[in-house]
Amino acid sequence: MVITLDQAPDERQLALIREQIGREPRGIDAVTAEDGEGTPLVLRMQSLVDGAPFPTLYWLCSDRLKIELSHLEAAGVIKQLEAMLAEDPEFMAEYRRSHEDYVAQRWHYMPDDVKAEVERRGYDTLLKERGVGGIANWTQVRCLHTQYAHHLCGDNAIGRWIDEHYPQVAACLP
């Protein structure tokens, strides 16, 4: 079960996140999805972390989902998806809209003072052109984890496709 929310992590969630990522978390704006047990699945990240651009808006932190998606990556699903995108203009258009949604959400959640700092440092072009997970080439998939994180919090064609063709991914959650 996926529960969408938009809240700063509490102490319990921060402890779980530390365990999930194996270090002290930096740059978290909010927990945007959790499972039925209240374990964080996706984190919304700040666009500047330690003064540098951080183009990954949605960070998948769920160990269960990471394992399931890693199996798909190892099985060659990324190459399969990229071939489908190259052959299917409608799927490619949906995927392009996914990147556009990601960029729009990044700028929507960015506070005005951070926008000003991003522009002052010259990072605005980077953060307007980098799509899902910081991808520069919007015809590539690169990573199922970033696609699925966005799917759980936004509009992502790859995440929808995964749910349709690999229901065990979502089914791994309590």
Query: So what's the pLDDT on residue 107?
Result: 97
Query: So what's the pLDDT on residue 161?
Result: 98
Tokens of 137: 């080439």
Domain spans of the chain, in order of start: 3-171
Query: So what's the pLDDT on residue 55?
Result: 86
| Tens-digit pLDDT profile for residues 82-111 | 999 999 999 999 999 999 999 999 999 999
CB hemisphere CA count around 38 (13 angstroms): 8
| Tens-digit pLDDT profile for residues 66-75 | 999 999 999 9
Sheet holding 28-34, edge to edge: 3-7, 28-34, 40-45, 58-60
- Which helix H or strand E contains 106, and what residues bound it? helix 89-109
pTM summary value? 0.95
Distances (CA, A) of 50 to 53, 125, 154: 8, 19, 26
